[in-house]
Structure 1
């Protein structure tokens, strides 16, 4: 299950992707449109800014916009930034590998073998489906999930 923070981050990115390319959206606009608490959204957008996904502009016409095009932002990247590794077991993580505490032998572990298939299928979907896909091809996203 993904966190509420990750859901809000994805919804905020979709809102920004739907905006005109040179138009910056205020936190208040995104929060109201997406029903996200403003304080929570501020932190999420700040995190996404530090990761180079969005940029902010101050002033009357200020707000947030995407720093990259929506077709260059994969769901998996956003989930990893917000929630951490996608792998269901620490021994399957590519970015935070850790041997399972109770593991006897990774090579023969039946549980690891099953969840390795789950992890690979999850990565296949989340690392290939982008914000643009979610907006432009709802059928693709539905069939991929």
Structure 2
């Protein structure tokens, strides 16, 4: 399930992509109807993840760290919520055995979880922030 923090991150990132110039947390929060205090945490995580950059002072604020076409939805989700996989044994970026699993190779559900991860990653990696704000209809078929 998409966390509220990730929802705010998507809204903030799309706002910055549409605006095309730096914006303050207060401006983004007011425009997108988000609590500024919580948005500060979201923006700090996005900055730590290399997705936004910031500058203090007049004309400062947050801006995208690279062009919107180079920022995938998967990058935003991973930055905020961590791996896309539903279980650690199916993760490519944060692999680990499940606590109750005897061996990953013998697990009956692991292959399904890997397929879900691969399908999710295909769609999210293939959708950029620029495509989303451009109104592209996302279709898997």
TM over 0.5: yes
CA distance in 1, matches of 2:88, 2:48: 26
Structure 1: gaps of 5 or more residues: none
In structure 1, the residue matched to 2:15 is 15
Counterpart check, 1:66 vs 2:64 = yes
> How many residue pairs are counted as aligned between the two chains?
141
Match of 1:75 in 2: 73
The 1:2/1:61 distance shift into structure 2, 3 A limit, reads same
How far did 1:107 drift?
2.4
TM-score by length of 2: 0.91
Alignment of 1:32-51 (within 5 A): 32-51=30-49
Of 99, 102, 115, the residue aligned with 2:100 is: 102
The CA deviation at 1:134 is 0.7
How far does residue 110 in structure 1 lie from its aligned partner after superposition? Answer: 2.0
Normalised by the length of structure 1, the TM-score is 0.89
Over aligned residues, Cα RMSD in angstroms? 1.6
Gaps of 5+ in 2: none
C-alpha deviations, 1:41-61, integer Å up to 9, x for none? 111112212222111122232
**Hey, what's the Cα distance between the residues in 1 that align with 2:63 and 2:99?**
43
